Amino acid sequence: MTWDPATYGVFAQPRLRPALDLMARIGAEAPERVVDLGCGTGNVTRLLAARWPAATVAGLDSSPEMLAAARIEAPGIAFTRADAGTWRPEPPVDVLFSNAALHWLDDHAALLPRLLAGVAPGGWLAVQMPRNHGAPSHTGMVAAARSGPWATKLAPLLRPSPVAEPAVYYDLLAPLAAEIDIWETEYLHILDGADPVLRWTMGTALKPLVDVLDDSERPAFLADYAARMRAAYPPRSDGKTLFPFRRVFLVARQRPLSAAP
């Protein structure tokens, strides 16, 4: 997927709130090494650096476009291209933070324990992922993708969400962690303007579909999806659109070094 920082940034404010909620639950006081995995445009990386000014903070992302935006957003921070699917922290980090990124990777049963293993003794793994793949914003995308002449082109791109129920993450991480906190929040985003849900998903899940369509297909596909979104999320009497959005949060503390016998 090619990311477009400007399209993603249209809803920067409502997208920031879960990152702040995640950050608030990390108990680290004086971490030395902090990594923002899937850092995107670096606006959250900058806040991690502000919270722990003595730490070495790094942003990692697989998208050159997002990294270029991040280097402008936070020039004092090192932003590096890396694939979270293969990256291993060396040496281990004290805070491994990942906001709204790991749902782009499969096989969480292997991924999450591997990431926790890269956290130093007593350190923190903090992850937030959308868990709204059953919402009309996503089911409507699948329906629109399958319901036109573009279906053969789009069907192979319809990826089932790898994000599991909270209990699955508890079973994966609790046996490995000293402390664990898992919760879900459904935000109620209050959006302005025409077709706001389409404009929101255009920054993320909708974009890979739109990118493969040609000019003769794109308008009809977008019109189909927009109509579904208007029906599922009708504007209120004041013109605002309410967009419920559920997210799962995982905060796991690595075990401390065992005391010498």
Ligand X SMILES: C[S@@+](CC[C@H](N)C(=O)[O-])C[C@H]1O[C@@H](n2cnc3c(N)ncnc32)[C@H](O)[C@@H]1O
* CB nearer to ligand X: pick between 95 and 105: 105
Distance, CA of 219 to CA of 228 (rounded, Å):
14
Single out the residue of 55, 101, 222, 248 in contact with ligand X (rule: CB under 6 A).
Answer: 101
Contact letters (x/-) for ligand X, 116-155, by CB under 6 A? ----------------------------------------
Calculate Rg over the CA atoms of the chain: 19
> Per CB under 6 A, which of residues 157..176 are in contact with ligand X?
none
- Six-digit token pair at 126? 């903090």
The H or E element spanning position 36 is strand 33-37
Single out the residue of 21, 51, 85, 142 in contact with ligand X (rule: CB under 6 A).
Answer: 85
| Minimum CB distance to ligand X, residue 227 (Å) | 25
**Under the criterion CB under 6 A, does residue 31 sit at the interface with ligand X?**
no
Distance, CA of 116 to CA of 126 (rounded, Å):
9
**Under the criterion CB under 6 A, does residue 40 sit at the interface with ligand X?**
yes
Query: Do 60 and 82 meet the contact criterion of CB atoms below 8 Å apart?
Result: yes
Give me the residues paired with residue 190 across strands: 242
Q: Which of 97, 91, 155 is nearest to 125 (CA)?
A: 97
Distance, CA of 25 to CA of 21 (rounded, Å):
7
**Under the criterion CB under 6 A, does residue 187 sit at the interface with ligand X?**
no
| Minimum CB distance to ligand X, residue 107 (Å) | 12
Give the interface with ligand X as residue ranges (CB under 6 A): 3, 15, 19, 38-40, 44, 61-63, 66, 83-85, 99-101, 104-105, 204
